[in-house]
Amino acid sequence: MTSTSDSQLRNCIQSPAVLRLLNRFLNRLDRQDLESRSNHLSEILGKRHFPELFAPQLVDDDRITWHWLKETEKLGSIELVQTRKRGIADRLPWDNCRVVFRPEAEDLIRAVLCRPRVDPNETAWLNALSSCQDRFAQPELLSKPCFPALKRKREPEAILERLALIPDILQETPMSLYQLSARLFWGQSKLLKGREEWLQELFGQPLPNLLPRPVLLEMFFPETPKGVLLIENLDTFLAACDGRLPAATHQILVYAQGFKNTAARIRDPLGVRFFWRGASEKIHQEFEDFWFGRITKNWPLCFFGDLDWAGMQMLALLRRIFPNISAWKPGYSSLLSLLKAGEGHSPEEADKEGQVAVTKTGDPWADEFLLPTLGFQGRFVDQEAFRK
């Protein structure tokens, strides 16, 4: 059912002057960027836009027009403001008058005039796309303006032209996504970040010369390795490298910073780079062969992180990549003792309220001892507390 205001405004726009006025205001709004638009619109009542008031062709045309302007004002769509104090010379109420647009009425006006909001940037983007869409296999992926950070400074034609060059540039020179982005988009290396699959869909072909960005793993090799230990945090990793954690002696130490090293590409030779210290080239090669699954070694593979839900989630994710990895018992047993002794912290104390409880890691020992204790205690211990 049509609202009362809707019906009343439809009556008002029977006046050609009111209809033209409201359309002019919407035209001005539609030419503005939605993010920086100004709703402070007004205009003087004058002969150019309101001939019915200042040069009426029909009897009472001026007074009828003024009536509908006043009715539109009553609805809150406009405001009629005198620009100066009225004097003897101002014989008519519309002399020296300004009409001001009321922004809160925009939705009603658009509904009555059947004029939805228009983003001029989107219109310009679609116009530019229509002239070059044959250069993309799936141009519909570009139906919305991409790369909003550029839209204030760069023309859509320039952005699309550079985007279309990607297959040719990669065929000429293999490079990473960051290098490609910096070369094409005015030195901005992160503009294409995370868009590998999107680009392949856009061009309808694989882009084999788009080089993956490898994960960098820092490592320490003892003289006689007996296992591999992935350590989440830097201070603990350095302490182990310096020999200040005797329990980690004879372990090949891998700095597994944060969640990025749970990515599957760390077991792909093209997806990872090793930087190591210590041991011989022979041991290095044995480790790489072990890491990439080319050989088997009697090296237990363990993970040591914080005793909190995020640490347990990392363990669970790592087990998808390394099915035999387990929680490092010397480290986690020590943290578990501290937790039971009341030395843990609440999630609120360490801004960890957003961590989600883990119900299963896949490691039997962690699932039997660590997860239930975390759930019961409701407190955490960071791995830097380990001192053995």
Distance CA 214, CA 45 (A): 66
Distance CA 42, CA 284 (A): 75
Question: With contact defined as beta carbons under 8 Å apart, do 82 and 99 qualify?
Answer: no
Provide the 8-state DSSP code for 369. Answer: I
Q: Which two tokens stand for residue 385?
A: 């507390």
Question: With contact defined as beta carbons under 8 Å apart, do 332 and 370 qualify?
Answer: yes
Question: With contact defined as beta carbons under 8 Å apart, do 196 and 210 qualify?
Answer: yes
- Looking at residue 124, its pLDDT comes to 84
Question: With contact defined as beta carbons under 8 Å apart, do 251 and 226 qualify?
Answer: yes
- Looking at residue 90, its pLDDT comes to 55
- Looking at residue 121, its pLDDT comes to 77
A 10 A CB-CB count for 388 gives 11
Q: Cα dist. 53→95, 97, 159 in Å?
A: 9, 12, 49
Distance CA 366, CA 304 (A): 11
Between β-strands 326-327 and 301-304, what pairing exists: parallel, antiparallel or unpaired? parallel
- Looking at residue 365, its pLDDT comes to 97
Report the chain's terminal Cα–Cα distance, integer Å. Answer: 75
A 10 A CB-CB count for 366 gives 23
**CA nearest 254: which of 233, 268, 271?**
233
Distance CA 64, CA 43 (A): 20
Distance CA 191, CA 23 (A): 38
**pLDDT tens, residue by residue, 265-296:** 888 888 888 998 877 888 899 999 999 999 99
Using the CB atoms, write b or e for 87-100: b if 16+ within 10 Å: eeeeeebbbbbebe
Between β-strands 78-82 and 97-101, what pairing exists: parallel, antiparallel or unpaired? antiparallel
**CA nearest 373: which of 305, 304, 330, 309?**
309
Q: Give the torsion sign (CA, 281, 282, 288, 291).
A: negative
- Looking at residue 1, its pLDDT comes to 41
Question: With contact defined as beta carbons under 8 Å apart, do 227 and 301 qualify?
Answer: yes
Which residue carries 């910073």 as its tokens?
257
The domains located in the chain, with CATH, are 4-113 (no CATH), 120-211 (no CATH), 215-385 (3.40.1360)
In the chain, which stretches have pLDDT less than 50? Answer: 1
Return the H-helix or E-strand segment holding 327. strand 326-327
- Looking at residue 87, its pLDDT comes to 57
Q: 381 — phi, psi (to 5°)?
A: -135, 125
Q: Cα dist. 143→117, 125, 129 in Å?
A: 17, 8, 8
Distance CA 188, CA 22 (A): 42
Which amino acid is located at 152 in the chain?
Answer: R
Distance CA 11, CA 5 (A): 10
Answering whether pTM is above 0.85, one says no
